[in-house]
């Protein structure tokens, strides 16, 4: 495929397995990545997965799907701003917005039902078989699950490009036992993909030592995710009246005294219904995007331009983002409104996992209403069987898990 944008090389556009495209294909390699993600079952299922509030609590909350769309919109805006404002970028040498969109749309594909608490519990349950990690599971979906189970890299997954897979890899330490606190890791069997996205074995070594090795598109996706969930979780919390002016002011005084007077006043106006929440959020996102820039890396990790630049956020904007993130964690995520249904959901997830585990281990027979997915029992390796069980449970929507769980209680 012809590369007109010199920010990318043919090496960036190589795919995991051959792509069979028509001669008159009008999309570039990254637009194909994005489109295949959007049309995948895994992306569609995000509409029924918890962002913060368990789905069904209200009809106005973000789900993983709407969150991912918002992340993609912010990511695209960041790219457009950088391409037009950075001294390093030109019309013939710029960050591809479709690639960043693909990363943003795919970043939560691997998240299980019941949000981050569900992810943590699955990680504990899968500990004997390598653990569970949402980012690693997103990679597994793109390479092993979308468009059929992986048999070989030549004919599996969605045949994503090297740059696309690299752009979703926020964490590159291989093996739960090698990661801090047993979180934020890749599965051992993903070492092959990790080495494939790097052009130098030294990068594997440095990433295993804890060094952050990632391209500019991944950095944009990660910051866009931070911006999206910080603003939207606050928005939904205010809509549900989980915050009061007195409560928030006490938090600023006791826990976050360095918050800016401007941000304090803005939040106070919103909570007192003196300023629309939607306009407040829009204004925040806009001024944070204008505070983003890229700097050139003097000692680039690899030869391709994707690694030659780092993303920066002006200190004032970073301070605002950190303050609101702390507010969310303390007053929203730890509220009983969030924690009670979340705890119930985690119990459901655990019961389903244990049921399918016991079937695989031959401890109990299958219930007619809850059969194992086809192909699992035919596997010889126990770890592979349990990884497929985890794929099955993690792929469920909240409501599907709740419905299946109801059969266990009958």
Confidence of residue 60 (pLDDT cuts 50, 70, 90): low
What pLDDT score does 53 carry? 59
Cα dihedral sign, 370-374-378-384: negative
Contact predicate 394/352, CB 8 Å:
no
Per-residue pLDDT reduced to its tens digit, 34-51: 999 999 999 999 998 877
Contact predicate 398/113, CB 8 Å:
yes
CA distance 326 to 258: 12
Q: What are phi and psi of 34, to 5 degrees?
A: -60, -45
Query: pLDDT at residue 207 above 80?
Result: yes
CA distance 100 to 180: 27
HSE-CB of 187 using CA atoms within 13 angstroms:
29
pTM exceeds cut of 0.85 = yes
Per-residue pLDDT reduced to its tens digit, 93-104: 999 999 999 999
User: Is 337 buried (19+), middle (13-18) or exposed (0-12) by CB count in 10 A?
Assistant: middle
Higher pLDDT: 220 or 53? It is 220
Instruction: Show the CA angle centred on residue 241, arms to residues 236 and 242, nearest 5°.
Output: 80
Do β-strands 292-296 and 309-313 pair in parallel, antiparallel, or remain unpaired? antiparallel
What pLDDT score does 153 carry? 33
What pLDDT score does 149 carry? 47
Per-residue pLDDT reduced to its tens digit, 146-168: 865 443 333 568 899 999 999 99
Q: Any idea which residue has 């999206």 for tokens?
A: 228
Q: Which CATH number applies to 10-208?
A: 1.10.3210.10
Contact predicate 51/73, CB 8 Å:
no
Confidence of residue 54 (pLDDT cuts 50, 70, 90): low
HSE-CB of 27 using CA atoms within 13 angstroms:
15
Instruction: Show the CA angle centred on residue 68, arms to residues 351 and 204, nearest 5°.
Output: 80
Question: 10 Å Cβ neighbour count for 376?
Answer: 18
Mean pLDDT for the stretch of residues 387-405: 93
Confidence of residue 71 (pLDDT cuts 50, 70, 90): very high
Higher pLDDT: 347 or 20? It is 347
What pLDDT score does 185 carry? 97
Per-residue pLDDT reduced to its tens digit, 107-142: 999 999 988 889 999 999 999 999 999 999 999 999
Least confident of 30-44, 129-143, 218-232, 330-344: 330-344
What pLDDT score does 337 carry? 84
Query: pLDDT at residue 1 above 70?
Result: no
15 bridge partner residues: 161
HSE-CB of 48 using CA atoms within 13 angstroms:
14
Q: Where are the domains of the chain?
A: 10-208, 216-336, 338-409
What pLDDT score does 151 carry? 38
Higher pLDDT: 143 or 380? It is 143
CA distance 38 to 269: 38
Per-residue pLDDT reduced to its tens digit, 262-319: 999 999 999 999 999 999 999 999 999 999 999 999 877 788 999 999 999 999 999 9
Q: How many helices (H) and strands (E) does the chain have?
A: 18, 2
């Amino acid at each position: 495929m012809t590369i007109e944008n010199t920010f990318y090389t043919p090496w960036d556009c190589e795919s995991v397995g051959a792509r069979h495209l028509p001669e008159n294909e009008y999309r570039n390699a990254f637009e194909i990545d994005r489109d295949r993600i959007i049309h995948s079952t895994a992306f569609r299922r995000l509409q029924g997965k918890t962002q913060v509030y368990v789905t069904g609590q209200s009809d106005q909350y973000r789900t993983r799907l709407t969150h991912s769309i918002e992340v993609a919109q912010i990511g695209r805006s960041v790219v457009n701003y950088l391409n037009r404002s950075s001294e390093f970028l030109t019309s013939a040498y710029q960050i591809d917005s479709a690639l960043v969109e693909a990363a943003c749309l795919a970043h939560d594909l691997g998240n299980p039902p019941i949000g981050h608490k569900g992810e943590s519990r699955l990680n504990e349950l899968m500990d004997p078989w390598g653990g569970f990690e949402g980012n690693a599971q997103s990679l597994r979906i793109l390479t092993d699950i979308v468009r059929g189970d992986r048999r070989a890299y030549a004919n599996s997954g969605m045949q994503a490009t090297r740059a696309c897979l690299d752009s979703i890899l926020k964490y590159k330490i291989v093996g739960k036992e090698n990661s801090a606190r047993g979180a934020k890791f890749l599965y051992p069997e993903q070492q092959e993909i990790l080495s494939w996205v790097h052009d130098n074995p030294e990068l594997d070594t440095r990433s295993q030592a804890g060094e952050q090795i990632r391209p500019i598109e991944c950095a944009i996706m990660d910051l866009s995710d931070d911006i999206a969930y910080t603003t939207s979780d606050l928005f939904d919390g205010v809509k549900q009246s989980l915050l009061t002016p007195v409560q928030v002011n006490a938090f600023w005084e006791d826990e976050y005294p360095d918050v800016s007077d401007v941000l304090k006043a803005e939040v106070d106006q919103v909570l007192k219904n003196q300023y629309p929440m939607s306009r407040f959020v829009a204004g925040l996102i806009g001024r944070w995007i204008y505070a983003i820039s890229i700097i050139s890396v003097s000692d680039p990790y690899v030869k391709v331009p994707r690694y030659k630049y780092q993303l920066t956020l002006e200190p004032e904007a970073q301070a605002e983002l950190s303050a609101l993130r702390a507010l969310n964690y303390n007053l929203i995520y730890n509220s009983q409104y969030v924690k009670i249904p979340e705890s119930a959901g985690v119990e459901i997830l655990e019961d389903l996992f244990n049921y399918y585990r016991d079937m695989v281990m031959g401890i109990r027979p299958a219930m007619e209403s809850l059969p194992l997915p086809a192909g699992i029992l035919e596997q010889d390796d126990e770890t592979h069987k349990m990884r497929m069980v985890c794929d099955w449970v993690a792929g469920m929507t909240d409501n599907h898990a709740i419905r299946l769980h109801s059969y266990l209680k009958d």
